[in-house]
Structure 1
Amino acid sequence: MPRIVATALKGHLDDFPAHGEEFLFRNAKGESIHSSRFYEQIWRPAIAKAKLSKGTGPHALRHAYASLLIAAGESVKVVSERLGHTNAAMALNIYSHLFPESEE
């Protein structure tokens, strides 16, 4: 897990401590966040506020993140680790078209 994620998660746990078997991320009522409610109450309003296409899903943002890492010159290994792939070959299979040609 990247340090920035660990730091953000620690901050979240400091503000919203979980006890026993409570869910780590909860809604304002302290209940678990179901995917249908998440999309309706959180995701879609965030997409609208960011002025992104209504059809933009988490996978599109993941792909954009990978694209930005590659464009910034990150190695296949780093991209693979950041995306949680089991190995660099998996990242290459998915994102190889985005890596610059070595001959250039």
Structure 2
Amino acid sequence: MRLVRLRRTPNLGGVRRPGGRPRPKGNDPARSAAGGGSELSAPKAESERVVYLPPALVNMLREHIETYGVERDLFWAAGRKLMTGSTADFRWRQARQRAGVECKIHDLRYFYASGLIAAGCDVVTVQRALGHSSATVTLNYYAHLWPSAEDKTREAAATLMQVAS
């Protein structure tokens, strides 16, 4: 399964069906078809990327497909309209208020990036996972999360002390 437009945008884009046909793009005026509907179009080439999913999420998506079939989207609003960014924000606010959590949707992206870095992923891996145009963009936002040379030196010295004792 291929995900399209993983970054939050004015419309949420969609999920590519296993057959590869892209979902409608939503109420984006630039993509609206005559008559107010939505048209199907592939994303820009540079916006497509492979996203590596953990097995638990793959299983959740598999269950969704087994239950609803491949024609049922994950992100639809009421009345079978594509979910817009404002609808997603509204639903997110409702969910976080019920859960007593204070974070924005974009904070999840930061959480994902920081988790990749904490797990030891290198700059290029994080860049590709986030869809940044260059490693420089990634470093501009997240350089402070990678261990510094001083951190690595302290860790190496601590390991040496444990081995020597």
TM-score by length of 2: 0.48
Aligned-residue Cα RMSD (Å) equals 2.8
Is contact 2:89–2:105 with CA below 8 Å preserved after alignment? no
Segments of structure 2 that go 5 or more residues without pairing to the other structure are 1-49, 154-165
Is contact 2:127–2:135 with CA below 8 Å preserved after alignment? yes
Is 2:82 the counterpart of 1:82? no
1:43-68 alpha-carbon deviations (Å, 9 max, x no partner):
11222344311xx2122121111111
Identity %: 35
Note the 1:1-104 alignment, pairs <5 A: 1-4=50-53, 11=62, 15=68, 17=71, 25-40=75-90, 42-53=91-102, 56-103=103-150, 104=153
Superposition deviation, residue 73 in structure 1: 0.7
The structure number with the bigger radius of gyration is 2
Matched position secondary structure for 1:29: helix
Runs of 4+ in structure 1 deviating by more than 2 angstroms, as ranges, are 10-16, 34-38, 48-51
Counterpart of 1:35, as a letter, is G
Tell me, in whole angstroms, the C-alpha distance in 2 between the residues paired with 1:2 and 1:74.
14
TM-score by length of 1: 0.70
Segments of structure 1 that go 5 or more residues without pairing to the other structure are none
Tell me, in whole angstroms, the C-alpha distance in 1 between the residues paired with 2:132 and 2:104.
19
